[in-house]
Amino acid sequence: MHSGVRPRKSAHRAGRRPIDPPLPLDDITRVVPIESKIRPPSDSQRLPLFLSFNQRRVVVVGGGNVAAAKLPTLLSAGAVVTLIAPKVVPSALMPGVTVHRRHFRGDDLDGAWFVVAAATPSVNARVARAAARRRLFVNAVDNPENASAFFAGIVRRGDFTLALSSGGRSPALVRLLREAIEDLLPKELDTWLNMARVERQQWLRNQTPINNRVPILAAAIGRLYPIE
pLDDT in tens, the chain (228 residues): 454 555 554 444 445 544 445 544 444 334 334 444 445 555 567 888 889 999 999 999 999 999 999 999 999 999 999 999 999 999 999 999 999 999 999 999 999 999 999 999 999 999 999 999 999 999 998 888 899 998 888 888 878 888 888 866 788 898 899 999 988 988 888 889 999 999 999 999 999 999 999 999 999 999 888 886
**Domain coverage including residue 209:** 189-222
Tally of structural domains, the chain: 3
What are phi and psi for residue 100, nearest 5 degrees? -115, 115
**Nearby residues of 78 by Cβ (< 8 Å), 6 or more positions away:** 52, 53, 54, 55, 56
Whether residues 129 and 80 share a domain: the answer is yes
Whether residues 118 and 52 share a domain: the answer is yes
Whether residues 87 and 117 share a domain: the answer is yes
Whether residues 131 and 163 share a domain: the answer is no
Alpha-carbon distance of 118 to 17, in angstroms, equals 48
